[in-house]
C-alpha cells in the first residue's frame, strides 16, 4: 500500500482500528479521523478503504435494516432516524426498507403477536410500538384491526 501523503498510512491504521470495533459510515469515519489527521490524509484513507471494500455505506445500511427485523423489529421511523444520523441519505435508507423489509404493518402485527396476549390494552400496545419507531398510521391501523377482532 503506497500513499502519496505520508500521514495517510497512520490514518488508515487508525481507521482500521475503528472499523474493527464497529461498522462505521463514511461520514462518521471522516469525522473521527478529521480531528487527528489532515484533510488529504483523511480523503486518501477513505478512498483506500472504499476501494478495498472495507468501508461500505450500502452494506452498513443493509446490515442494520436486516438486524432490526424479526423479534426486535424496529419501525421505519426508528431505522431511518438511526441511519440518517450516521450520515446516510434518507432516500437510500427508504429504498432498502422497501426492498428488504416486509411492510411496516406486517412487522408491527408480528411483533404484537409475539409480545402481547389477547387481552392487552390498545394504549399499551400503541406506546410499545411508538417506542419502537413505528409510524402513527401503522399504529392506528393496527389498533383499529385489533379492536375489530
pLDDT of res. 65: 87
- How far apart are alpha carbons 124 and 139 in whole angstroms? 11
* Domain tally, the chain: 2
Does residue 86 sit in the same domain as residue 139?
yes
Instruction: Find the mean pLDDT for residues 99-104.
Output: 84
Does residue 37 sit in the same domain as residue 64?
no
Do 15 and 28 touch, CB atoms closer than 8 A? no
Do 47 and 69 touch, CB atoms closer than 8 A? no
What does the pLDDT look like over 47-95, one tens digit per residue?
999 999 999 999 999 988 888 876 678 899 999 999 999 999 999 999 9
Joined grid coordinates for residue 92: 437510500
Domain that holds residue 142: 60-148
What does the pLDDT look like over 14-51, one tens digit per residue?
999 999 999 999 999 999 999 999 999 999 999 999 99
Domain membership of residue 66 (yes or no) is yes
The helix/strand/coil state of 88 is coil
Does residue 81 sit in the same domain as residue 20?
no
Amino acid at each position: 500500500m503506497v500513499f502519496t501523503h505520508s500521514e495517510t498510512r497512520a490514518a488508515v491504521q487508525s481507521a482500521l482500528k475503528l472499523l474493527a470495533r464497529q461498522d462505521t459510515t463514511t461520514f462518521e469515519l471522516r469525522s473521527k479521523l478529521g480531528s487527528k489527521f489532515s484533510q488529504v490524509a483523511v480523503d486518501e484513507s477513505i478512498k483506500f478503504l472504499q476501494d478495498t471494500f472495507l468501508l461500505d455505506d450500502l452494506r452498513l445500511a443493509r446490515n442494520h435494516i436486516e438486524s432490526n427485523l424479526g423479534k426486535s423489529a424496529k419501525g421505519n421511523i426508528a431505522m431511518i432516524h438511526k441511519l440518517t444520523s450516521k450520515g446516510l441519505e434518507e432516500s437510500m435508507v427508504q429504498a432498502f426498507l422497501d426492498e428488504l423489509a416486509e411492510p411496516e404493518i406486517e412487522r408491527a402485527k408480528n411483533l404484537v403477536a409475539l409480545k402481547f396476549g389477547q387481552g392487552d390494552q390498545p394504549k399499551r400496545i400503541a406506546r410499545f410500538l411508538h417506542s419502537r419507531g413505528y409510524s402513527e398510521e401503522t399504529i392506528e391501523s393496527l389498533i383499529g384491526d385489533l379492536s375489530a377482532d
